[in-house]
């Protein structure tokens, strides 16, 4: 019988958790991985140059590059999502729903923590600008990544 | 929902990967359908039926026996 082993039928863990794709088989998957690396490198270089040579130009460049990279990532991610077939698309959708639900709770929690710190404890107000956003992004990425991994093992 | 996909695939001497390519889906989707962990959309079920030259009902069927069809109203 020309069958395939069920053991090898699951999506690879490394791709699911580290690369944000289901595998590295399709053109769309390879494209997203390559673009992710380029965008990550660009972001790293621009942010590091702003840290090493602090000036208005490097700061504005880092800001512009960050905005451009985030927008382009969203565009590439959308293209990748549309290239998925129905099962991975369903898993991806469920992951997004979970990330959104947890994200709302995490955002409320972070807002509460921020309020408590700002009103009752000595606190550096500068931290309040970006720390909650970074934490929220990390929480959302973890929730979505873990959900995709768990859901993909279910099928 | 139960199905005869694995049997049909073997009869046509196809691997999961080959069938997946014909249907433009991932091999994992075919495996999930075969192991009855995932019920395909109507469109995919129709495509599968078309590939094997059978009707959808011959490949996919409800788990708990037959459903009695409604008698036509006179």
Chain B residue numbers with beta carbons less than 8 Å from the beta carbon of A23 are: 26
Whole-angstrom CA distances from A110 to A117, A120, A121, B2, B65 are 10, 15, 15, 46, 52
- Structure-model confidence comparison of residues B13 and A14, the more confident one: B13
Residues 94-133 of A with CB under 8 A from B: none
Give the total residue count for chain B: 74
Rounded Cα distance, A56 and A31, in Å? 34
Tell me the nearest-neighbour CA distance from B2 into chain A, angstroms.
15
Rounded Cα distance, A34 and A138, in Å? 22
Tell me the nearest-neighbour CA distance from A14 into chain B, angstroms.
16
CB-based contact A3 B10, cutoff 8 Å:
yes
A87 band by pLDDT with thresholds 50, 70 and 90: very high
The yes-or-no verdict on residue B16 having pLDDT over 90 is yes
pLDDT (tens digit, 9 = 90+) per residue, B22-62?
999 999 999 999 999 999 999 999 999 999 999 999 999 88
Looking at residue A71, what is its pLDDT? 93
Chain B residue numbers with beta carbons less than 8 Å from the beta carbon of A22 are: 26, 28
């Amino acid at each position: 019988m020309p069958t395939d082993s069920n053991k090898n039928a699951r999506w690879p863990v490394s791709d699911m958790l580290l690369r944000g794709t289901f595998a590295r088989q399709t053109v769309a998957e390879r494209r997203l991985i390559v673009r992710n690396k380029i965008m990550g490198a660009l972001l790293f270089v621009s942010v590091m140059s702003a840290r090493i040579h602090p000036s208005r130009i490097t700061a504005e460049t880092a800001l512009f590059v960050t905005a451009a990279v985030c927008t382009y990532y969203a565009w590439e991610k959308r293209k990748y999502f549309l290239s998925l077939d129905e099962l991975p698309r369903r898993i991806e959708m469920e992951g997004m729903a979970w990330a959104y639900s947890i994200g709302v709770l995490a955002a409320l929690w972070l807002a509460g923590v921020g309020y408590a710190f700002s009103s009752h404890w000595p606190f550096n107000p500068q931290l309040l600008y970006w720390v909650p956003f970074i934490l929220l992004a990390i929480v959302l990425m973890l929730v979505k990544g873990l959900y995709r991994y768990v859901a993909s093992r279910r099928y | 929902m139960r199905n005869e996909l694995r049997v049909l695939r073997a009869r046509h001497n196809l691997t999961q990967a080959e069938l997946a390519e014909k249907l433009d889906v991932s091999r994992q989707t075919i495996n999930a359908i075969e192991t009855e962990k995932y019920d395909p959309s109507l469109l995919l079920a129709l495509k599968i039926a078309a590939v094997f030259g059978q009707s959808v009902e011959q490949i996919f069927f409800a788990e708990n026996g037959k459903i009695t069809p409604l008698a036509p109203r006179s």
